[in-house]
Amino acid sequence: MTVKDKTVLITGATSGIGKATAISLASQGATIVLACRDLGKGKQAVADIADASGSSTLKAMQCDLSSFSSIRAFCDEYRSKFTTLHVLINNAGTWDFKRRESKDGIENIFAVNFLAPFLLTNLLLDLLKKSSPSRIVNVSSGLHGGTINFEDPEGKKKFSGFVAYRQSKLALLLFTRLLAKKLEGSGVTVNAVHPGFVSTNLGRDAGFFARYFFTLLGKSPEKGAQTSIYVATSPDLEGTTGQYFANCAPAKASKQSCDLATAEKLWQAAAAYVHL
């Protein structure tokens, strides 16, 4: 679908894949809203994106994805400024080497990579429905996998940043599958993407090896953004929902990511965490 004169909300757009996505969609005539933890960086990103795209319809708004209260405040502010939402791109993500907790006392990777987009999306669903046809794009990862550890989802007993990251991206994919079912007939589609291994600051808190890996082997953010842009805009995907894409094409995901019974159980657990 064309995004010209449409409203697009992107998380994690001050750098990397999110920023590259914002530049492309702004160049296509979209109004871009950047949900930013650091408003100063957000305003600088707006200036950079404006320079790169020639767009003047850009706005940065404060939203700390490690805080449920900040997410709720952001959604309230968004509603006060905008009456439509045509594309929501849950792009932001983190990967920690050592276990740390969010503002709500929840393991940070689980909170930011999964619970935050779960809450943000649910709080804005009515606007997405009102603005239909509309699209949700969840940035997952080819590293999604393992299982959801319902007994210890926060790694309190034993923590591994790699395991926590894989679980969070699996959770996001399960959320995508189930939300697609729940939104059937609403005019809102939701799909997940794997951007590939991209040279971003994702591994900044994940230790030397991760930083080196992402910097040395990662492709450019511009290339990494292509699948998000494709899924957000392609007319060929009108009505396509609940799918997983990589390299701008449908991709094979793990068997666990297709288990809707697990997705239902995870939804109930997430709703309890975020008090929905």
Q: Classify domain 7-274 at the CATH superfamily level.
A: NAD(P)-binding Rossmann-like Domain (3.40.50.720)
Sign for the pseudo-dihedral over CA of 140, 143, 148, 151? negative
Residue 184 to residue 173: CA distance in whole angstroms: 17
Identity of residue 140? S
Q: Could you report the per-residue pLDDT of 130-144, keeping only the tens digit for each?
A: 999 999 999 998 889
pLDDT(50) > 70: yes
pLDDT(218) > 60: no
Residue 256 to residue 61: CA distance in whole angstroms: 35
Interhelix angle 260-274/116-130, nearest 10 degrees: 100
Peptide bond into 133 cis (omega under 30): yes
For the chain, what percent of residues have pLDDT higher than 70? 91
Residue 78 bears catalytic tag: no
What pLDDT, on a 0 to 100 scale, did the predictor assign at position 269? 98
Residue 222 to residue 236: CA distance in whole angstroms: 22
Evaluate whether 221 touches 158 at the Cβ level (below 8 Å).
Answer: no
On whether the pTM is more than 0.85, the answer is yes
Long-range pairs, 196-200, Cβ under 8 A, ≥24: 196/142, 196/223, 196/224, 196/227, 196/246, 196/247, 197/142, 198/16, 198/17, 198/223, 198/224, 200/15, 200/16, 200/17, 200/224
What pLDDT, on a 0 to 100 scale, did the predictor assign at position 143? 83
Q: Could you report the per-residue pLDDT of 77-122, keeping only the tens digit for each?
A: 999 999 999 999 999 999 998 999 999 999 999 999 999 999 999 9
Token pair 């969070």: residue: 168
For the chain, what percent of residues have pLDDT higher than 90? 86
Indicate which residue of 78, 165, 244, 273 is catalytic. Answer: 165
